[in-house]
Amino acid sequence: MHMVLGILGSGSGSNMQAILDAIDSGTLNARISIVLSDCPDALILERARKRGIETGVIDCSGFRNKFPDEAQRETAQRLLAAGVEVVCLAGFLRLVKRPLLDFFPNKILNIHPSLLPAFPGLEAWKQALDAGVTEAGCTVHFVDEGMDTGPILLQESLPILAGETADSLHARIQCIERRIYPDALRKLLRENLSAH
> Residue 96 in contact with residue 6, Cβ under 8 Å?
no
Q: Look at residue 193 and tell me whether its pLDDT is greater than 90.
A: no
Calculate the CA 189 to chain-centre distance. 16
- Provide the pLDDT for residue 72: 96
Backbone angles phi and psi of 79, in degrees to 5: -65, -45
Nearest-Å Rg of the Cα atoms of the chain is 16
Could you please report the per-residue DSSP string of 117-147?
TSS-SS-HHHHHHHHT-SEEEEEEEE--SSS
Find all residues with CB under 8 Å of 103, minimum gap 6, and list them.
76, 79, 80
Instruction: Using pLDDT thresholds of 50, 70 and 90, give the confidence band for residue 196.
Output: low
Instruction: Using pLDDT thresholds of 50, 70 and 90, give the confidence band for residue 177.
Output: very high
155-158: long-range pairs with CB below 8 Å, 24+? 155/115, 155/116, 155/180, 156/180, 157/115
> Residue 138 in contact with residue 173, Cβ under 8 Å?
yes
- Provide the pLDDT for residue 147: 87
* Cis peptide bond prior to 117, omega within 30° of 0: yes
Domains: count for the chain: 1
Tens digit of each residue's pLDDT (9 = 90 or more) over 3-31: 999 999 999 999 999 999 999 999 999 99
CATH of the domain at 59: 3.40.50.170
Instruction: Using pLDDT thresholds of 50, 70 and 90, give the confidence band for residue 64.
Output: confident
Tens digit of each residue's pLDDT (9 = 90 or more) over 101-139: 999 999 999 999 999 999 999 899 999 999 999 999 999
Residues marked active site are found at 112
Q: Give the CB-side neighbour count of residue 170, counting CA atoms within 13 A.
A: 9
Domain containing 14: what range?
3-195
- Provide the pLDDT for residue 152: 97
Q: Look at residue 81 and tell me whether its pLDDT is greater than 90.
A: yes
